Amino acid sequence: MWKYEKKLQYPVNIKKKDLKMAKYILTQYGGPAGELAAAWQYLDQRYIMPDDRGKALLTDIGTEELTQ
């Protein structure tokens, strides 16, 4: 079902450092309303889901949030 390839989706060529943009990107991924927080919420909620279909759905959503 999952295929792991350690390569970038888009080529990256950094010519100069932009600390302001780096801070912004970091808050989007690691902040309280970021992608990582959303993914962990879905993955944590799957443990209290009473049926298997709900668990599978939350697992799929949580792992999809991690890959975006």
What are the residue boundaries of the structural domains of the chain, listed by start? 35-68
More confident residue, 3 or 52: 52
29 vs 33, 37, 46, CA distance in Å?
8, 8, 21
Is the pLDDT reported for residue 9 higher than 80? no
What is the arithmetic mean of pLDDT over 9-21?
Answer: 86
In angstroms, how far is CA 40 from the centroid of its own chain? 8
Percentage of the chain with pLDDT > 90? 25
Question: Which of the pair, 31 or 41, is modelled with greater confidence?
Answer: 41
**pLDDT at site 35:** 80
Q: What is the pLDDT of residue 67?
A: 78
